[in-house]
């Protein structure tokens, strides 16, 4: 297969933990040819979606390659996205208008015959915070609003709450407000930009102390291990980017129920790879842009998530 990864700059990869890198390694091991490009390399030109795409050769396989870098990259050339057997979208947020424009171009390419994972319209339709509202049976009490009165009433009802923006990643902007309501007004003003931006409020889930669990779904199947991101002392955010510690664990019975219920639904919508975030058995996010934790799970359990991903991609390719 010819597999092109739409990703952030390769030079910025932290290969000891990067899931896209793990995918590339597994793809190369299985004999596939790897390519890479970035969003700004795409164009709609002469009625076709093209991109300046370059072949990537991992240094372990590149004769005479410089070992200071983990890859060697060829000269980029403009190619139709239909020239590849799979386009794997691994572009990190922020999910801003440039990201939306990227999904529009990918959707046009898809209509022209390109095979894109995850499907661009599905990525666009599933805000990673707000998508949980489609599955209220699995969530803690939640409010989505920009209205200060509603947000204050939610706090009055639940006392201990979390407030967070709808477009953040890595735990950015998440604030806990306890029962005393200290700084509630200023936090609401700050996060809502004085009522002009919609945010999410959730009842605080004390089981965050045991970790914010990342549960991976691949092609409608559930990976049997999660990665519990455990907050450091004094933090309410378990995100690894916020200093959390990742501990791989077998899924709990509750996590498996939720994951197995959502896996076929999300796959049918065109979401090949999904990262569910769960705290205390409650669904808190549905990650669809570039879910991670492949390497941490593999290193701690031996469960080769990248292999599962590539096997599933090959199966879809031949179907």
Pairing mode, strands 225-230 and 282-287: unpaired
> Which residues are CB-neighbours of 274 under 8 A, at least 6 positions away?
118, 216, 217, 262, 263, 266, 286, 287, 288, 291
Catalytic one of 90, 119, 124, 129: 129
- Reply yes or no on whether 164 is catalytic: yes
Cα separation, 229 vs 275, in Å, equals 13
Rounded Cα gap, residues 173 and 193, in angstroms:
13
From 26, 107, 285, 296, the catalytic residue: 285
Residue 255 designated active-site: no
Among the listed residues 18, 214, 255, 296, the single catalytic one is 214
| 194 is a catalytic site residue | no
Chain-centroid distance of CA 319 in Å reads 25
Catalytic option among 107, 119, 237, 296: 237
- Catalytically annotated residue among 164, 212, 213, 296: 164
> Which residue is catalytic, options 128, 167, 229, 296?
229
**Active-site position among 26, 128, 277, 296:** 277
Using alpha carbons, select from 296, 134, 111 the residue that is nearest to residue 213.
Answer: 296
User: Please, what is the Cα angle at 221 between 210 and 293, to 5 degrees?
Assistant: 45
Strand boundaries in 106-244, DSSP class E: 116-117, 142-145, 161-165, 175-177, 199-203, 212-218, 221-222, 225-230
Host H or E run for residue 86: strand 86-90
214 part of the active site: yes
277 is catalytic: yes
Determine if the peptide bond prior to 94 is cis (ω within 30°): yes
118 is catalytic: no
Nearest to 305 by CA among 238, 193, 242, 221: 221
Catalytic residue among 118, 212, 287, 296: 287
How far CA 49 is from CA of 9, 122, 208, in Å, comes to 21, 19, 44
Helix, strand, or coil here: 256? helix
Catalytic residues: 129, 164, 214, 229, 237, 277, 285, 287
């Amino acid at each position: 297969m010819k597999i092109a990864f739409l990703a952030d700059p390769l030079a910025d990869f932290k290969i000891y933990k990067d899931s896209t890198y793990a995918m590339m390694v597994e793809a190369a091991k299985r004999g596939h040819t790897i390519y890479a490009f970035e969003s700004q390399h795409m164009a709609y030109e002469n009625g076709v979606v093209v991109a300046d795409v370059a072949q990537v050769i991992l240094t372990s396989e590149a004769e005479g390659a410089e070992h200071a870098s983990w890859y060697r990259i060829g000269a980029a050339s403009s190619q139709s996205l239909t020239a590849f057997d799979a386009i794997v979208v691994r572009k990190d947020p922020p999910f801003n208008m440039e990201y939306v424009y990227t999904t529009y171009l990918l959707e046009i390419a898809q209509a022209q015959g390109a095979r894109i994972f995850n499907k661009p319209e599905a990525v666009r339709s599933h805000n990673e915070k707000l998508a949980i509202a489609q599955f209220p049976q699995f969530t803690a009490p939640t409010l989505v609003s920009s209205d200060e009165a509603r947000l204050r009433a939610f706090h009055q009802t639940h006392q201990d709450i979390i407030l967070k923006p709808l477009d953040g990643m890595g735990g950015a902007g998440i604030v806990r407000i306890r029962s005393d309501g200290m700084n509630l007004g200023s936090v609401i003003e700050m996060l809502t930009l004085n009522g002009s931006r919609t945010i999410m409020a959730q009842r605080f889930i004390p089981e965050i102390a045991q970790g914010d669990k990342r549960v991976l779904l691949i092609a409608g199947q559930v990976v049997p291990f999660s990665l519990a991101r455990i907050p450091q002392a004094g933090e309410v955010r378990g995100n690894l980017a916020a200093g959390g510690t990742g501990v791989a664990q077998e899924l709990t019975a509750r996590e498996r129920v939720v994951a197995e219920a959502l896996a076929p639904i999300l796959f049918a919508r065109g979401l090949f790879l999904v990262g569910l975030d769960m705290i205390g058995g409650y669904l808190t996010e549905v990650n669809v842009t570039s879910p991670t934790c492949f390497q941490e799970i593999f290193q701690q359990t031996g469960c080769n998530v990248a292999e599962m991903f590539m096997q599933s991609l090959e199966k879809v390719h031949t179907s």
